[in-house]
Chain A
Amino acid sequence: MTVVALRPKAKIMADAAPKNVIDVKDLSLVFQTNDGPVNALSNIDLAVNSGEFVSFIGPSGCGKTTLLRVIADLEQPTSGSISVNGMTPSQAREKRAYGYVFQAAALYPWRTIGGNISLPLEVMGIPKEERKARIAKNLELVNLAGFDKKFPWQLSGGMQQRASIARALSFDPDMLLMDEPFGALDEIVRDHLNEQLLKLWAKTQKTVIFVTHSIPEAVFLSTKIVVMSPRPGRIHEIIDCNLGSERTLDIRETPEFLEIAHRVREGLRHGHSYDEAHL
């Protein structure tokens, strides 16, 4: 490709063919435990294009978090191939290709909110003035402007998780990997953050991979829903889902939304996710 962009991350998606950022082929991962081997992931094939919002949904034990961690190079696959931005996951991690948002905010309690957002920037050797500017910019992005001097415990759970998203965005990675980021929050906060995340995604045009076990959340946010099923962890079905760019929470009452939610639920059911043995 001869895309010599002036800006390193020029968004040229509009007219160019979508760029493949994640390519997983026949990937398996077996954990060796005391109770014998566990097939956490089995024969996974998945392609994610630049700018997509992809959700992994499924019950506990379906390997959705493990798959995310493989992409992040936090777990090593047993067999198969995976490329992230055309590189191995480990090279991609070394190039800081992604920001990772954990289930808990995982803010360092001894650092202020600003200090936490500064953490990856310090690790990456970004000078102080630049760090300040990025802290301000990213706090603004998650509607936390003015909170940089507060310590994590002074913020609510939802605010903490927003701060952790700001931290993941602070070094401007191409990709955002999110592992049930709103799982621990109550539904009202969760709805609100879903809307905010959608706006953020539209604004930043990042590729987002989002692990969840909430069907409405997945349908509301995603352009593509990967339905997974357990034992062994595998992909059951991939459902395209695009409810238009101008979504609000009201869309969850529309027939289109309910139709896709129904398909996801059917997918989960056929993947035996509702079987008694798996609950």
Chain B
Amino acid sequence: MKERQGLAAVLHDRVIPVGTILLVIIALWYVFAIILNAPFERDQAARANTTISTSQLVANTMAQERPVLPAPHQVAAEIRKTVFDIAPTSKRSLIYHGGVTLSSTLLGFAFGTLLGILLAIAIVHSRTLDKSLMPWIITSQTVPILAIAPMIIVVLNAVNITGLLPKAMISTYLSFFPVAVGMVKGLRSPEIMHLDLMRTYNASKAQIFWKLRWPASMPYLFTSMKIAVAISLVGAIVGELPTGAVAGIGARLLAGSYYGQTVQIWAALIAAALMAAVLVSLIGVISTLVNRRMGVRP
């Protein structure tokens, strides 16, 4: 009985609202696919000196080989083909490319999170670093990543660092920022009273950190990690663009745009979005588990 209540609640709270929005998006997508792809069909008909019925026009707009905007089912078919029908080792498999992007995303995210936390710890414990580091951290994010990414790749290539690491560094560059900013706030979040309490115990700085600042910062950590992991994925994809479309979701996007393969581009985009959604919800799950351990009121 209780089980069903839980299930019904999930259905009511999650599935129905999210599903409704999804349906609306798909419906709008179809509408725009028809509107955007129709001129091409009309041109074709005009060139062949034939007229085309509206129903035929609508059917054609959803079955073009290189549509301006591919219809959802075309993208779905492309994803199914490149995920399930092609061996994951093949260079045409989306699994292969997704795996390449995922590995540099995760590596960059791990470095970025670690770097962000370390910077935040340094900033919280030193007034000098607070004053000197923080402006640089903020400045770092005003540099357009599209401009700096090729430089990182080229410079690292020159010193014989290739493959995963340069791309991961771009992810790190993007993802350390939300973690650093979030954790500075999180590590400073304990109330004065909680800090005074530690002072009355004559606690050391390390004890204050591990027993108060660190646990108090957990909600901030997970929130910023959610942003960081999504932005890491963006970084990894951007990092794949200047490498000459070797491998990864970014390479798929670039190759698709070279050859006008809009269906391939959209399939890669949707795959990237799904990957980001899975990564963000994974962090959400970890956050829930940690919250439960920390006795957060359900």
A-side binding surface: helix, strand, loop or mixed? Answer: loop
Chain A residue at minimum C-beta to C-beta distance from B218: A110
Chain A window 86-112, contacts with chain B (Cβ cutoff 8 Å), 1 for yes, 0 for no = 000000011010111011101011111
Which chain A positions have C-beta within 8 A of B211? 108, 119, 122-123
Contacts of A24-76 to chain B: CB distance below 8 A: 72-74
- Expressed in whole angstroms, the Cα–Cα distance for A172 and B277 within the complex equals 52
- B203 interface neighbour in A108, A110, A123, A151, Cβ under 8 Å: A123
* Interface contact A110-B200, CB-CB below 8 Å: no
Which chain B positions have C-beta within 8 A of A171? 201
Contacts of B184-200 to chain A: CB distance below 8 A: 191, 193-194, 196-200
- Expressed in whole angstroms, the Cα–Cα distance for A112 and B202 within the complex equals 22
A153 contacts chain B at the CB level, 8 A cutoff: yes
Known A123-B211, A151-B295, A153-B297: A106·B200 in contact at CB below 8 Å? no
Chain B residue at minimum C-beta to C-beta distance from A115: B295
B48 contacts chain A at the CB level, 8 A cutoff: no
- Expressed in whole angstroms, the Cα–Cα distance for A120 and B197 within the complex equals 9
Chain A residue at minimum C-beta to C-beta distance from B204: A123
- Expressed in whole angstroms, the Cα–Cα distance for A122 and B198 within the complex equals 11
A277 contacts chain B at the CB level, 8 A cutoff: no
Known A100-B197, A104-B193, A119-B211: A110·B202 in contact at CB below 8 Å? no
B212 contacts chain A at the CB level, 8 A cutoff: yes
Which chain A positions have C-beta within 8 A of B198? 123
Contacts of B173-227 to chain A: CB distance below 8 A: 191, 193-194, 196-203, 207, 211-212, 215-216, 218
Which chain B positions have C-beta within 8 A of A120? 201
Which chain A positions have C-beta within 8 A of B197? 100, 102, 106
A124 contacts chain B at the CB level, 8 A cutoff: yes
Which chain A positions have C-beta within 8 A of B216? 110
Chain A window 11-23, contacts with chain B (Cβ cutoff 8 Å), 1 for yes, 0 for no = 0000000000000
* Interface contact B199-A74, CB-CB below 8 Å: yes
* Interface contact B215-A110, CB-CB below 8 Å: yes
Least distance between B89 CB and chain A CB atoms (Å): 46
- A109 interface neighbour in B199, B201, B203, B295, Cβ under 8 Å: B295
Which chain A positions have C-beta within 8 A of B207? 122-123
Known A96-B202, A120-B201, A123-B211: A110·B295 in contact at CB below 8 Å? yes
Which chain B positions have C-beta within 8 A of A124? 201
Chain A window 107-137, contacts with chain B (Cβ cutoff 8 Å), 1 for yes, 0 for no = 0111110000001101110000000000000
- Expressed in whole angstroms, the Cα–Cα distance for A123 and B210 within the complex equals 11
Chain B residue at minimum C-beta to C-beta distance from A151: B295
B294 contacts chain A at the CB level, 8 A cutoff: yes
* Interface contact B199-A93, CB-CB below 8 Å: yes
Chain A residue at minimum C-beta to C-beta distance from B196: A74
Least distance between B196 CB and chain A CB atoms (Å): 6
- Expressed in whole angstroms, the Cα–Cα distance for A102 and B195 within the complex equals 12
- Expressed in whole angstroms, the Cα–Cα distance for A110 and B212 within the complex equals 10
Which chain B positions have C-beta within 8 A of A103? 193
Least distance between B191 CB and chain A CB atoms (Å): 7
* Interface contact B295-A100, CB-CB below 8 Å: no
15 other A-B residue contacts (CB within 8 Å) besides A94-B202, A112-B295: A74-B196, A93-B202, A96-B202, A100-B196, A103-B193, A108-B212, A109-B294, A110-B215, A110-B216, A110-B296, A119-B201, A122-B207, A123-B201, A153-B295, A171-B201
> Could you list 5 examples of A-B contacts with CB < 8 Å?
A96-B201, A100-B197, A106-B194, A110-B296, A122-B211
**6 residue pairs, one from A and one from B, having the closest CB atoms:** A151-B295, A110-B294, A106-B193, A100-B200, A123-B201, A123-B203
